[in-house]
Amino acid sequence: MSTPTHTAASALALIAPDMAEVDRVIARRLDSGVPLVAEVSSYIISAGGKRLRPALLLLMARALGSTNPFRHQLAAVVEFIHTATLLHDDVVDDSTLRRGRATANVSFGNPASVLVGDFLYSRAFQMMVECGEPRVMEILADATNVIAEGEVLQLMNMHDATLTEEGYLRVIRSKTAKLFEASARLPSVIDRSAAEVEAACASYGQALGTAFQVIDDVLDYEGDAAELGKNLGDDLREGKTTLPLIIAMQRATADQQDLIRRAIEEGDASELPALIEVVRQTGAMESTRAAASQEAQRAMQALEVLPPSSHRDALWALAAQLLDRRS
């Protein structure tokens, strides 16, 4: 497969009309008759963000040559599920900033955030039932359950300085990559694609989602807060042990290990500059980016099964340019 010339921006431009239709579906299905539901939902959905999961679903549909009329509804479903997880995450993590502005729990309170998250989950299930495809419901129900398990696993791992790379990957493949996997798989299901094609689509999504989260964890230590729209060191404050710290702990001196362990166990970001220096000195940042690169390569290889097209090239570009992500 030759190297495509798409940028991530041009990749998304290919599906601009489809995304506009998804926005119309989202606006229509947020109307519940309860003003606070629409207000909180609109607040977080309109905050920007990459809309990567619905975009992934739509690009994959186009790459498969699918024009199934339910593709826009399913793209809205995965965005609703994702948004529900954000609302609940921010309450659990006591987050104050997302996408450059106050989180919904800060603006509306924890009860409203939790309950509107519940509304979005249930609305997503109403919409997937309307598609009338049992495997669609099975895939999305399974994904939602696995995401919830990933959230619980992450909670159990909080402030655990002994977390291994295997344990870390288990969390992110549940919490983040599972919805990417479902988003990439669904077009092949509604298009009745061959099992080999469906498996390749799912592999692409899982690998892309894993790489996305690994890079996100890198940016918590070397990103730009203004570009990220969140505070640097938030993962550390919340007691999350991510791959840069796991690798650094393996390579650090005894004194450096004590610093990392204390920061994780106490959720202390006051020594963030010193921690960043340890992560850099140990080469943990480069190794973490290398791990993300392996996942991105795995995603690109999965696309070999698909027929050549500009949309397949766009999917390739999303994986390739993920490694240059800064926000």
The residue written with tokens 């393996």 in the block is: 250
Q: Give residue-wise pLDDT tens across range 41-92.
A: 888 887 766 789 999 999 999 999 999 999 999 999 999 999 999 999 999 8
Q: Evaluate if residue 217 carries a pLDDT over 80.
A: yes
Among 9-13, 44-48, 170-174, the range scoring the smallest mean pLDDT is 44-48
Which residue in 183, 190, 92, 105 sits closest to 144, CA to CA? 183
Residue 2 lies in a domain: no
Q: Which are the contacts of 77, defined by CB distance < 8 A and separation ≥ 6?
A: 124, 127, 128, 140
Q: Evaluate if residue 324 carries a pLDDT over 80.
A: no
Q: Evaluate if residue 1 carries a pLDDT over 90.
A: no
Q: Evaluate if residue 283 carries a pLDDT over 90.
A: yes
Residue 224 or residue 277, greater confidence? 277
Q: 158 with 240: CB under 8 angstroms?
A: yes
Which residue in 273, 205, 281, 279 sits closest to 243, CA to CA? 279
Q: Evaluate if residue 25 carries a pLDDT over 90.
A: yes
Q: What residues make up the domain containing 47?
A: 8-322
The residue written with tokens 């994959």 in the block is: 60
Residues linked to residue 62 through DSSP beta bridges, in sequence order: none
Degrees (nearest 5) of the Cα angle 183, 184, 185? 95
Q: What are the tokens at 221? A: 């230590």
The number of folded domains in the chain is 1
Q: Evaluate if residue 228 carries a pLDDT over 80.
A: no
Q: How far apart are CA 7 and CA 317, in angstroms?
A: 6
Residue 327 lies in a domain: no
Q: What are the tokens at 187? A: 């077009």
244: confidence class by pLDDT, cuts 50, 70, 90: very high
Residue 77 lies in a domain: yes
Q: What are the tokens at 210? A: 């894993």
The CATH number for 59's domain is: 1.10.600.10
Rg of the chain (C-alpha set)? 20
33: confidence class by pLDDT, cuts 50, 70, 90: confident
Phi, psi of 241, rounded to the nearest 5 degrees: -95, 105
Q: 78 with 54: CB under 8 angstroms?
A: yes
Task: Please tell me the predicted confidence (pLDDT) of residue 6.
Answer: 62
Three-class DSSP category at 297: helix
Among 45-54, 79-88, 228-237, 290-299, the range scoring the smallest mean pLDDT is 228-237
Q: How far apart are CA 181 and CA 173, in angstroms?
A: 9
Residue 1 lies in a domain: no
Q: Give residue-wise pLDDT tens across range 112-168.
A: 999 999 999 999 999 999 999 999 999 999 999 999 999 999 999 999 999 999 999
Q: Evaluate if residue 223 carries a pLDDT over 70.
A: no
Class of residue 201 by CB neighbours under 10 A (exposed 0-12, middle 13-18, buried 19+): buried
Task: Please tell me the predicted confidence (pLDDT) of residue 231.
Answer: 64
Which residue in 76, 95, 73 sits closest to 86, CA to CA? 95
- Cα dihedral sign for 140, 143, 147, 152? positive
Q: Across all residues in the chain, what is the average pLDDT?
A: 90
Q: How far apart are CA 320 and CA 156, in angstroms?
A: 33
Task: Please tell me the predicted confidence (pLDDT) of residue 168.
Answer: 96
Whole-model pTM: value is 0.92
Task: Please tell me the predicted confidence (pLDDT) of residue 60.
Answer: 98
User: For 165-179, b where at least 16 C-beta lie within 10 A, e where not — what string?
Assistant: eeebbbbbbbbbbbb
Task: Please tell me the predicted confidence (pLDDT) of residue 296.
Answer: 96
Task: Please tell me the predicted confidence (pLDDT) of residue 230.
Answer: 55
At 135, the amino acid letter reads: R
Q: 218 with 244: CB under 8 angstroms?
A: yes
**Percent of the chain whose pLDDT exceeds 70:** 93
Residue 268 lies in a domain: yes
